[in-house]
Structure 1
Amino acid sequence: MEACLITDAQKWNDFIATSPFGAITQTYEWGILARRAESIPLYCGVLDDQDNLCAAMLILVMRLPKINNSYFYVPRGPIITDPDSAALSFLLHFVDSLARKYNAFMLKIDPVADQHDAVWLQAFAHHGFMATDSFIHGRGEWVLDIYPDEKQQLAHMKEKWRYNVRLAQRKGVKIRQGHTPEDIQIFHTILQETSERDQFFIHAVDHFEYLMKLFEEGEKAELFLAEYEGQAIAGIIVMRSGQWCWYRYGASSSQGRNVMPNHLLQWTSLQWGREHGCTHYNFMGIPAVLTEAEGPKDPNWGVYNFKRGFGGQARCAMRSQEKPYNPTVYRLYTLVRELKHRYATARYERSELARKRQEYQTKKGEESLPAR
């Protein structure tokens, strides 16, 4: 076996596509995309005696200019059939050697493996990793099997969701693919409205233009726009690798919600995945707590309810794994990270307290009004 940097994009992607849980963030194009965020992609692989890949891990070199250090980050890797094999040791020893070159103080992995995978847990511990609850790539996902028969697919959806798909079709909602810069701008405009309404970060429009340029080749990504009465009112970007398809980005206008464009968009995306040989559809992010008693407190509970209406099941990836290379810098980094987390938590709790106080005062004021 030989560990080295891989430059053959096709060989790399063909191997990544074999991942049992899928890993769009380990594809060759994802590393190229990361360059726009000033990260350096390192395509680390292990070749066997026949020059075939048997282990791979896309590493993003993340710079921390204030302390003149970097760290290695692996989004949903490594990709290897057997973590007990010698290939994993070859791979990690090679990565350790690169750490010195790039002045990396740690290797951080958000694993693709399932949270209960004892073999992987043991392998990470054996190679000096420590589990942490600090993650970059969210652990919770909603995964749906793509059935070869559309009637079977519909049967696994909630009745109201089947009704809403047909309602959108009856109301005249049209779904079309978007390929031009103008289409991407339309999507981004709706996405901006969505982010302002739901308070989440979005990339600039040129990020999505570059993403589609990279992944549209070979139909690895598709933009779908929902139009009603000649106006775009919603859109999604779906991506695929191997047998997996992902709902990566979604946007919806406040207008036209009553004609259920989002249900028809997801149904169209499922069909797109099926046509391209995918067997799983990943809706991605869901709340950490899924019980009816606690879950509704999560701001993503409504999105989760929408996703599970299509059928499927929850999946939780393993906790993040971190391997320090420079203990001093690592301790400083984790201290700053913990302080930022405490500050963010306190700020959120204050905002929630203010919101509940306002709701109470509003309710109390309404109750004090004279009956009509």
Structure 2
Amino acid sequence: MNACLITNRQQWNDFIGTAPFGAITQTYEWGELAQYANSKPLYCGVLDDQDQLRAAMLVLVIYVPMLKSTYFYAPRGPIAASANEPALGLLLNFVNSEARRHKAFMLKIDPVAEANDADWLRFFKQGGFKANDSVLHGRNEWVLDIYPDEKEQLAQMKEKWRYNIRLSRRKGVVIRQGHGPEDMRTFHRIFQETGERDKFYVHSLEHFEHMMSLFEPGEKAALFLAEYEGNVIAAIIVMRCGNCCWYRYGASSAQSRNVMPNHLLQWTGIQWGREHGCTYYNFMGIPTILTEEEGPKDPNWGVYNFKRGFGGYARCAMVSQEKAYNPAIYRLYCLIRDLKHSYSNARYARSELAQKRQAYAVKKQESSAQPVS
């Protein structure tokens, strides 16, 4: 077997598509998208005597200006038939050698493997990795089996969700697939509105345009827009790799939410996945705690309730794995990262407290304004 950098896009993507639960962030196009964001992609693979890939890992070389150093990051890698694949050891040795060549201070992996997969845990431990709670790609996901029969698919949903899909159609919501700059600008405008409302980071319009230019050919991604009375009120971007389809981005206007466009949009995304041979539809992020007693405290609980209404089950990927090449720089990086997390958590806590105080003030004002009987 031979470990090397792979340049054959089709060979790479065909192999990545065999990964359980998929790994779109390991595709050739994802590396090109990262390159657009100033990260260098390294397509590391191991070929057998018949030039067939046995193991692969897209590694992004990321520069940290504050440390004037780089680290390696593999989002949802490595990919192999199992953790016992002999080529994996050769693959890791090759990545280690590339890390020395690029003077990387660590290799970080957010594995695609299940959280408690003993074989993969053993592989990472033997490879010198240590678990870390800091993840760049969320571990907790909501996954839906895509059934060949639409009636069977609908039967898995909550009754209210089936009703809302029909209601949206009766109200006159029309779903169409978007193409071109104008539709992308429309999506991004609503996505910005959603980001401001729900307080999450929004990529630039140029980022999404470049992403679609990479994934839309070959129908690896699709933009769907929900129109009502001549206006686009919601949109989603779905992507696929192998037998998996992902709901990657969603945007919704505050207007006309009563016509339930998001239910019909998701149903359209599920149908698109089925039409392209997918057997899983991944809604992605959900809260860590899913008990009714503790879960509602999570700001994403409402989103989780929406996703689980379509049926499906929770899946948790393995905790992030990190291997230090330069312990001194790695420790400094961890310190900076911990400080950033602490600051973000404190800022969120202050924001939440301010919202509660404002709500209390409004309630008190309304109460004092009531006429005395």
| Alignment TM class, shorter chain as reference | over 0.9
Q: Give the residue type in structure 2 aligned to 1:293.
A: E
Indicate whether 1:159 and 2:144 are aligned: no
The residue correspondences of 1:84-103 to structure 2 (distance < 5 A) are 84-103=84-103
1:31 aligns with 2:31: yes
Aligned-pair identity (%): 70
Equivalent residue for 2:70? 70
Structure 2 CA distance, aligned partners of 1:144 and 1:230?
A: 32
The superposition leaves residues 91-148 of structure 1 with CA deviations (integer Å, 9 ceiling, x where unpaired) of 0000000011111000000000000111111110010000000110010100000000
Partner residue, 2:317? 317
SS in 2 for 1:123: helix
2:196 paired residue number: 196
Instruction: Look up the SS of the partner of 2:282 in the other structure.
Output: strand
CA distance in 2, matches of 1:214, 1:152: 34
Higher mean C-alpha deviation, range 188-197 or range 241-250: 188-197
1:135 aligns with 135
- 1:303 is aligned to 303
User: 2 CA distance for matches of 1:350 and 1:9?
Assistant: 47
What per-residue deviation string (whole Å, max 9, x for no partner) do you get for residues 137-167 of structure 1? 0101000000000000000000000000000
CA distance in 2, matches of 1:219, 1:97: 36
Instruction: Give the corresponding residue for 1:178.
Output: 178
Moved more, 84-93 or 351-360: 351-360
Q: Could you tell me which residue of structure 2 aligns to residue 336 of structure 1?
A: 336
Equivalent position of 1:292 in the other structure: 292
User: Partner of 2:354 in structure 1?
Assistant: 354
**Post-superposition shift, 1:371?**
4.3
Q: Which residue of 2 aligns with 1:4?
A: 4
Q: Which string of whole-angstrom CA distances, capped at 9 and with x for unpartnered residues, describes residues 43-76 of structure 1?
A: 0000011110000000000101232210000111
Mark the runs of 5 or more structure 1 residues left unpaired by the alignment.
none
CA distance, structure 2, for counterparts of residue 271 and residue 303 of structure 1: 21
Residues 280-320 of structure 1: per-residue CA shift (max 9 Å, x gap): 00000111111111111111111111111000001010000
CA distance in 2, matches of 1:44, 1:299: 38
Corresponding residue SS for 1:70: strand
Give the 5 Å matches for 1:5-24: 5-24=5-24
The code of the aligned residue for 2:154 comes to L
Q: SS state of the match for residue 212, structure 2?
A: helix
Q: Give the Cα separation in 2 of the matches to 1:337 and 1:190.
A: 31
- For residues 231-271 of structure 1, give each alpha carbon's deviation from its aligned partner in whole angstroms, at most 9, with x where no partner exists: 11111000001100000011011111111111000001111
Distance in 1 (CA, whole Å) between partners of 2:282 and 2:100 is 36
Structure 2: runs of 5 or more not aligned: none
Please list the CA deviations of residues 164-206 of structure 1 after superposition, one character each: whole Å capped at 9, or x if unmatched: 0000111111111111111111111111111111111111111
User: Matches of 2:354 and 2:258 in 1, distance apart?
Assistant: 31
Q: In the alignment, is residue 123 of structure 1 matched against residue 134 of structure 2? A: no
TM-score (norm 2): 0.98
Q: Secondary structure at the match of 1:157?
A: coil
**How far apart, CA to CA, are the structure 2 residues paired with 1:371 and 1:91?**
77
**In the alignment, which residue of structure 1 is the partner of 2:211?**
211
Equivalents in 2 of 1:196, 1:24: separation in Å? 27
Aligned-pair CA distance for 1:86:
1.9
Code of the residue aligned with 1:242 in structure 2: it is G
Q: Distance in 2 between matches of 1:327 and 1:137?
A: 24
Q: Alignment length, in residue pairs? A: 372
Q: How many Å apart are 1:79 and its aligned residue?
A: 0.4
- SS of 1:66's equivalent? coil
Counterpart-to-counterpart distance in 2, 1:203 and 1:356: 29
Q: Which residue of 2 aligns with 1:221?
A: 221
Is 1:240 the counterpart of 2:215? The answer is: no
Distance (Å, rounded) in 2 between the aligned partners of 1:54 and 1:112: 17
Which position in structure 1 is the counterpart of 2:265?
A: 265
RMSD: 1.1
What secondary structure, in the 3-state scheme, does the structure 1 residue paired with 2:354 have? helix
- Structure 2: how far apart are the matches of 1:358 and 1:269? 38
Q: How far apart in 2 are the matches of 1:72 and 1:177? A: 36
Q: Is 1:281 equivalent to 2:250 in the alignment?
A: no
Whole-angstrom CA distance in 1 between matches of 2:54 and 2:71: 25
Provide the rounded CA distance (Å) in 2 between the counterparts of 1:371 and 1:164. 43
CA distance in 1, matches of 2:253, 2:332: 43
